[in-house]
Amino acid sequence: MILQSQKRRALIWAILAAVAALLCWVGFRGYLSADMLFNFANMFYC
């Protein structure tokens, strides 16, 4: 019974880590789009 509890806890942490990684990836993909990088570069030169 303790073993199942530990497995369940590990599974929950793995799912949470996967969701966090997915959110970070989506955030960076959105942030590092071509338009945003172009505008960021222009901010320093204009």
**End-to-end CA gap in the chain:** 65
Assign 11 a pLDDT band (cuts: 50, 70, 90). very high
CA 24, CA 18: separation in Å to the nearest integer?
10
Position 7 pLDDT exceeds 70: yes
Q: What is the pLDDT of residues 12-27, one digit of tens each?
A: 999 999 999 999 988 7
* pTM as predicted: 0.58
Position 43 pLDDT exceeds 60: yes
CA 14, CA 20: separation in Å to the nearest integer?
10
More confident residue, 37 or 5: 5
Q: Is 24 helix (H, G, I), strand (E, B) or coil?
A: helix
